[in-house]
Amino acid sequence: MSIADELIKNLMGLGLSNYEARAFIALALYRETTAPNIARRAKIPLSKIYSVLRSLEEKGLIESQSKRPKVYRIVDPDYSLENLLKKYEERKNTIKELLRKVLSLEKYEKGGLWVVSGLDNIIRRVRDLMNKSAISLALATPDYLLKKFSSKLSALGRNGVNLSLVIYETDSMKTKFYVNTLSKYARVKVRSIPAVSTLFIDREVGVVFYLKTSNEMPYLDESYAMIVEDENLLRMINDFFHLALWLTSTDVGPNLNLFSKPLSYTHFWRLVEDVDILFKNNLGPVYVEIEGSYVKSKEPAYIKGEVIDYSIGENWLSYSIVVKSNEGKVTVGGWGCFLEDVEAKKVILYSSFCEKIFSSK
């Protein structure tokens, strides 16, 4: 692609028509000239060139002298393009606001399974979904892809999002770098056998994505992602990440400093595993605040107290904790539990490391 073609593509991206972009570039090459010369160089019909130039003037990109024949020149790009960008931004904001109003006219029920294709589209969509993380985020992906997400994950970790990260090792140096970088904010495990990339956010959305492009043929993009919003399918994503990816990966060693502040969880298996770490390192007492529902009545439940026991099943399919609260001993389970007293939807954990003093009153 020539410089002129690249310029045309980018100018059209800012809202110029093909004729306007070509005329603008032709005039830039002339510095200043007449309409027929611009039409000839830009290969624009003479019958069209005056309306094209009038549009460029209205956009503030060129100016003219009112003499015979009329002479045109481009305005200083530092000013004119900045003005164009400002108008583009204003138009983008207007469109976003109008779309929000349209989308709010009807209640939208999330659900189902959606497909995204194309490498760039998938990366943008995954980043966008990461921005919506409120409590817990679990991600399994190759080390070479973490370049796309590392800064975002670090920012989420600093802002209190609970991160569970599995790195597929393809390059030991890259993996070591990201382990050192991200273990400050996340529980990190490493897997020597790569699998499909998987993202699971709270209990709201899951993404399974496969990225495949060719350096020799970059136009051959066979990258696909499935965005999962259906609750039953999300349960499958939760179990797939936990059982097939998390438990089959090697723990790099828990960073106990993660427990120096309250941690929030929507992924119950991570909560119980962290309780296990705290108990085994004699870092009790451990306190929790739990939002959920009573298993039998389905009524909302709010439990606050000390964790006095926990259980991890032999097959890793069952996780529970026992909380000593004002209601007495309450057993708490995760998503879809039926033997426990309460199904937890959100849990806040306080260890003895926490600066905040937890009161079980």
pLDDT of residue 105: 60
Whole-model pTM above 0.75?
no
pLDDT band at 277 (very low <50, low <70, confident <90, very high): very high
Same domain membership, residue 117 and residue 135 = yes
- Domain count of the fold of the chain: 3
In a domain, 70, yes or no: yes
Does position 357 have pLDDT exceeding 80, yes or no?
no
> What proportions of the chain, in percent to the nearest 5, are helix, strand and coil?
40, 30, 30
Per DSSP, the chain holds a count of helices (H) and strands (E) of 10, 17
Is 340 a member of any domain?
A: yes
Regarding predicted confidence, which is higher, 25 or 80?
A: 25
- Whether residue 263 sits in one domain with residue 340: yes
Mean pLDDT in residue range 304-311: 95
Residues 241 and 266 in one domain: no
Percent of the chain with pLDDT over 70: 92
The least confident of 91-100, 227-236, 249-258, 302-311 is 91-100
Residue 156 forms part of a structural domain:
yes
Highest mean pLDDT among 94-98, 209-213, 345-349: 345-349
Same domain, 143 and 160: yes
Q: Tell me, what's the pLDDT at 359?
A: 46
59-73 tens-digit pLDDT: 888 888 877 888 999
Look up the CATH number of the domain holding residue 264: 2.30.30.690
- What does the pLDDT look like over 30-52, one tens digit per residue? 888 999 999 999 999 999 999 99
Given a cut of 60, is residue 215 above it in pLDDT?
A: no
Q: Which long-range contacts (CB under 8 A, 24 or more apart) does 278-284 make?
A: 278/351, 279/310, 281/256, 283/256, 283/259, 283/351, 283/352, 283/353, 284/351, 284/352
| Closest alpha carbon to 44 in 55, 33, 56, 35 | 35
Q: Confirm whether 296 is domain-assigned.
A: yes
- Which of 251, 283, 318 terminates a domain? The answer is 251
Instruction: Read off the CATH number of the domain in which 207 is found.
Output: 3.30.870.10
With a cut of 60, say whether residue 176 has pLDDT above it.
yes
Give yes or no for residue 19 having a pLDDT over 80: yes
Give the CA-trace dihedral at 149, 151, 152, 155, to 10 degrees: 150
Same structural domain for residues 288 and 187? no
Among 67-71, 245-249, 320-324, name the one with the lowest average pLDDT: 67-71
Last residue of a domain, one of 66, 98, 130: 98
pLDDT at 360 over 60: no
Q: Domain check: are 117 and 91 in the same one?
A: no
Which residues have C-beta within 8 Å of that of residue 52, sequence separation ≥ 6?
17, 19, 20, 23, 44
Question: What was the pLDDT predicted at 120?
Answer: 83
Percentage of residues in the chain with pLDDT exceeding 90?
A: 57
Q: Is residue 103 part of a domain?
A: no
With cut-offs at 50, 70 and 90, classify the pLDDT of residue 361.
very low
| Sequence-distant (≥ 6) Cβ neighbours of residue 115 within 8 angstroms | 224, 225, 226, 227
Domain end residue (candidates: 39, 72, 98): 98
- Per-residue pLDDT of 179-200, as tens digits, reads 999 999 999 999 999 899 999 9
Sheet containing 162-168: give its strands across.
113-117, 224-228, 205-210, 197-201, 136-142, 162-168, 186-191, 250-251
Residues 346 and 324 in one domain: yes
CA–CA gap between residue 214 and residue 218 (Å, rounded): 5
For 32, the domain range is 3-98
Average pLDDT value over all residues in the chain: 87
| Mean pLDDT, rounded, for 278-296 | 93
| pLDDT at residue number 53 | 94
Identify whether residues 127 and 234 lie together within a single domain: yes
Whether 105 maps to a domain, the answer reads no
Is 107 within the bounds of a domain?
A: no
* pLDDT score at 103: 62
Where residue 60 sits, what CATH number does that domain have?
Answer: 1.10.10.10
- 135 and 218 assigned to the same domain: yes
**For residues 244 and 208, what is the distance between their CA atoms, to the nearest angstrom?**
13
264 and 247, same structural domain?
A: no
Task: Check whether residue 208 and residue 232 sit in a common domain.
Answer: yes
- Output the pLDDT for position 133: 83
268 and 341 inside one domain: yes
Residues whose CB is less than 8 angstroms from the CB of residue 337 and which lie 6 or more positions away in sequence, other chains included: 295, 320, 343
356 pLDDT higher than 50 = no
Higher pLDDT, 18 or 58: 18
Q: 151 in a domain, yes or no?
A: yes
- Listed range (29-38, 122-131, 209-218, 261-270) with the worst mean pLDDT: 209-218
